[in-house]
Amino acid sequence: MGAGGEQPNHGKKAFAKLAFLASGAPEAEEARLRLVEKYSDCPPEEADCIVALGGDGLMLRTLHRFMGAGKPIYGMNRGSVGFLMNQYRESGLRKRLAEAKPSIIHPLLMHAVNLRGDEFSAHAVNEVSLLRQTSQIAKLRILVNGQERMPELVTDGVLVATPAGSTAYNLSANGPILPLDAPLMALTPISAFRPRRWHGALLPSAAKVRIEVLEAEKRPVSVVADHDEFRDLAYVDIEMDHATEMVLLHDPGHSLEERILREQFGY
């Protein structure tokens, strides 16, 4: 998910109005009903804070839905994967919100053009990934700030990840884990064939990356920004959207910054 850091705590009065969202899983929906009964509920547009009940998938959808709204989001784990979530507890919620540590997240902005000349734009909290569409391996050209850095990468794909997203697909592709406040993006190959020993690069968060598809008709490539996919890619431009901020709230000692640090030590 973007560079970020801890900000001063919100005061208790900021959380008078809460909106509860659930993933749709029975466990999450049951939790939502209990919390609404205990704390009441209001439309997300009127809420001081949005409480997301589910796993990381719901958190990503919630971040996308309210991107740019300036509303803090506090997740509680009622799903299978909860790296972005807090522990579920029904009591003392407003006290937990008042004491929570905010993390500021900036998404990636992707602008893609396909072989027909159609243009698409999308944000990505975690990563923008390019993937081969068929059995034909992809051939890609990589430019950073207009300068060619990789004339030909022969690979299954490549991705650009934010610090917050560096522990997701990027980590599975053997990319580096980035501290949340690092002004960096990770550029990571996915099963590179040539150059075989290239493991990627760390780029400044101000960098502008262009990835062009070589032999695009013979070797079609798709691009995915979190969950938005566009096929038959000609090229894609990727940069950090510093103008867009999202606020994640975590309990003291369990901030997103702390969780990413723990990942680097394997626990």
Dihedral sign for Cα atoms in the order 169, 172, 177, 180: positive
213-251 CB burial, b ≥16 within 10 A, e <16:
beebeebbbbbbbbebebebbbbbbbbbbeeeebbbbbb
Active site annotation includes 56 = yes
| Residue 226 assigned to a binding site | no
Answer left, alpha or beta for residue 232, where phi above 0 means left and psi between -120 and 50 means alpha: left
| Residue 9 assigned to a binding site | no
Active-site entry in 56, 226, 228, 241: 56
| Residue 171 assigned to a binding site | yes
The three-class DSSP label of residue 59 is helix
Distance CA 232, CA 126 (A): 22
| Residue 41 assigned to a binding site | no
| Residue 167 assigned to a binding site | yes
| Residue 127 assigned to a binding site | yes
| Residue 174 assigned to a binding site | no
| Residue 62 assigned to a binding site | no
Residue ranges for the known binding site are 56-57, 61, 126-127, 156, 164, 167-172
Catalytically active residues, by annotation: 56
Binding-site residue positions for NAD(+): 56-57, 61, 126-127, 156, 164, 167-172
